[in-house]
Homo-oligomer: A and B are copies of this chain.
Amino acid sequence: MSAFRMPGLPERVTIYEVGPRDGLQNEKTIVPVADKAAFIARLAAAGLRTVEATSFVHPKWVPQLADAEELLAVMERAEGVRYPVLVPNERGLDRALRAGVTHIAVFASATESFARRNLNRTVAESLAMFAPVVTRAKENGLWVRAYVSMCFGDPWEGEVPIEQVVSVAVRLMELGCDELSLGDTIGVGTPGHVTALIGALGEAGIGAQRLAVHFHDTYGQALANTLAALRCGVTTVDSSAGGIGGCPYAESATGNLATEDLVWMLHGLGIQTGVDLPALAATSRWMATRLGRPSPSRVVQALPVEEEQ
């Protein structure tokens, strides 16, 4: 298929691949470390230049990623590829530094309810906890991303006011974060809401070039929301290879946007990603066999199966 460009969209988009971390941590199956390393290597070989590798959250909370140190010790690193690691606190940062990690991510919440449930802290307490993490990370020359969860709706609080998200975002950038990923954790946002939030962040001094968007497909809105974000100048989009991290048919669905569905749209729009789509889909099919269920990605289901996997 030819590409058909639309005015006002970027020439190139950076896909921030979250499958090995956000994907696998939300799957029931615990994948062996060798398969995780192979997954990450295949994603890089398929052209992804940012692959979030694992997490230093305590194994009590995320047993799926309890092998973080081991994975970081064995995984190959391709030239020009970033492998960020999630870091929840100073102890996690110590582990990341010992493991030679160069890119980290911290995770905040836009709402008190989710901060309490996910971090067992108020929003203010969690930001105070991140302050020394970000300061020390920057002193050590690390690149720091901040996730903000529940930027559109929250299961306990309903709609999240834009000014509340802006307030948390501004504070995170003041701490020294390099990039901010706006999470629609429950997937309820729509394109006008996305546009309004990115506009408000811009007015608060956080330009679209420092933003990423992280949409969930729980209500089917992820790709339409991505299109709206691209029109606002956002050029970094989070997605999960094969859509892993929550089957849309399961009650526990988190519904990560599938990288393949995103790439289909971007390439159709003539936007460069560097991704080899058949190689990526083959990787997701391979991981699906390890997870014991079909990939929820529409593109993975629709594309013909390649002979060589």
Chain A residues close to B by CB (< 8 Å): 1-6, 153, 158-159, 187-193, 195-196, 217-221, 223-224, 226-228, 248-249, 253, 255, 258, 261, 264-265, 267-270, 294, 297-299, 301-302
Contact = CB atoms under 8 A, between A and B. Distances in A.
Contacts of A224: 223-224, 226-227, 265
Nearest to A269: B192
Most buried by B among A196, A221, A261, A268: A268
15 contacts: A3-B192, A4-B190, A4-B192, A6-B192, A190-B265, A190-B268, A191-B265, A218-B298, A219-B261, A220-B261, A220-B298, A221-B223, A221-B261, A221-B265, A221-B268
Contacts of A227: 191, 224, 227-228
A261 to B, nearest CB: 4
Contacts of A218: 298, 302
Number of copies: 2
Contacts of A269: 190-192
A184 to B, nearest CB: 11
A265 B192 CA distance: 9
A226 B221 CA distance: 11
A299 B188 CA distance: 9
A158 B227 CA distance: 25
Contacts of A261: 219-221
B220 A159 contact: no
A306 to B, nearest CB: 17
A309 B130 CA distance: 48
A302 B196 contact: no
A17 B196 CA distance: 30
A4 B4 CA distance: 28
A220 B221 contact: no
Given A191-B265, A253-B301, 15 more contacts: A1-B159, A1-B190, A6-B191, A6-B192, A6-B195, A190-B265, A192-B268, A217-B298, A219-B264, A219-B299, A220-B265, A220-B297, A221-B265, A227-B227, A255-B298
Contacts of A294: 249
Contacts of A3: 192
A268 B184 CA distance: 14
Per CB-CB distance, the 3 closest pairs between chain A and chain B, nearest first, are: A190-B268, A4-B192, A220-B261
Given A224-B223, A226-B224, A258-B220, A5 B192 contact: yes
